[in-house]
Structure 1
Amino acid sequence: MIFPTKGMIFRKKYASDKEPIDTRTHKSFFLKKVSKSHFLVKNKAYIFNSQSFNINETSLKMKREVSSKYHKLARSIMISCLHRKKMLYEVIIIAFLRQ
C-alpha cells in the first residue's frame, strides 16, 4: 500500500478508485520549455492544447463577444490542474488580458 506523502496527489480514475500521482517525478515534464504557439500538456485525465484555446480566444475577440466560454474553460482547467496552480493562473491571466 502506498501512503500519501508531500508532493503526491490523488486523481479519481473510477468512482471508487483513487490512484496516487507523484508530482515530483513529473515536475521535469511540466517545467520543460516548449514553444508558446504549441504547448501540449498530456495527462491520463486530460489533454490541454493552448493553441486551440488561443484560436477560440481570437475568434471571440474579433466578434467582440463576451462569452461564458472563458469561465467554463477556466473551471475545467482548474479541475484538471489543481496540482499545477501556477500554470492555471498563467493561462487564466493570459486569457483575460487578451479580451
Structure 2
Amino acid sequence: MFFSKDGRWKNVVQVGGTASTMGLHIVSAIIVGLTFGYFLDDYFGTKPYLIMIFFVLGVLAGFKAVFEDFRKLQRRQEEQQHGSLKQEGKKSAGDDQSEA
C-alpha cells in the first residue's frame, strides 16, 4: 500500500525531505552568522555590532537558500506534471490509432 506503483509515496518523501531541508537551511545559516559575528566581535572588541550584522546576513542567507529550494521543488513538480501529461497523451494517441 505504501509503495504504490504510481510513485505517490516517492513524491511525498521527496517533498517532505525538501521541506525539512528548508528548515535546516534557515537554522544553520543563522547559527553560522551568529558564530562568526560573536568571534569577530570578540576579536575586534566591537561587542554588539558585528553579531547583529552577521545575524542579519545569516537570516538573509537562510531565506535565499529556502527560496532556491522552493524553486527546485516547484521545478520538479512541473516536470512531473509535464511528464504525466506526455504519458497520457501517448496513451490517448495509441488508443486513437488502435480504433482506426
TM-score by length of 1: 0.32
Larger relative helix fraction: 2
Larger-Rg structure: 2
Structure with more contact order per residue of length (Cα contacts < 8 Å, sep ≥ 6): 2
TM-score by length of 2: 0.32
